[in-house]
Amino acid sequence: MLLFTMKPLYIIKIGGNVIDNSENLYHFLKDFTALDGHKILVHGGGKLATTISEQMGIEAHLVDGRRITDIETLRVVTMVYAGLINKNIVAQLQRFGTNAIGLTGADGNFIKAAKRPVKTIDYGFVGDLNDTSVNAQNISKLMEAGFTPAFCALTHDGEGQMLNTNADTIASALAVALSPLYETTLIYCFEKKGVLKDIDDEQSLIQDIDPARYEELKKEKIIHSGMLPKLDNAFTAIACGVKAVIIGHAQELSKIRQNQPFGTRLSK
DSSP readout, 49-60? HHHHHHHTT---
Give the model's pLDDT for residue 60: 80
List Cβ neighbours of 255 (8 Å cut-off, separation of 6 or more).
Answer: 261, 262
Q: Which of 67-71, 84-88, 197-201 has the lowest mean pLDDT?
A: 197-201
C-alpha dihedral, 170 to 173 to 174 to 179, nearest 10°: 160
83 annotated as ligand-binding: no
164 annotated as ligand-binding: yes
263 annotated as ligand-binding: no
Q: What is the pTM of this model?
A: 0.94
With beta carbons less than 8 A apart as the criterion, state whether 70 and 125 touch. Answer: yes
Phi, psi of 34 (to 5 degrees): -70, -15
**How many Å apart are CA 261 and CA 208, to the nearest integer?**
10
The mean pLDDT of 128-142, rounded to a whole number, is: 97
Confidence of residue 1 (pLDDT cuts 50, 70, 90): very low
Give the model's pLDDT for residue 141: 97
**Amino acid, single-letter form, for residue 103:** L
Q: Does domain 8-266 have CATH number 3.40.1160.10?
A: yes
Q: What residue segments make up the domains of the chain, in order of their start?
A: 8-266
45 annotated as ligand-binding: yes
Alpha-carbon distance values, 265 to 6, 24, 74, 256 (Å): 21, 23, 35, 12
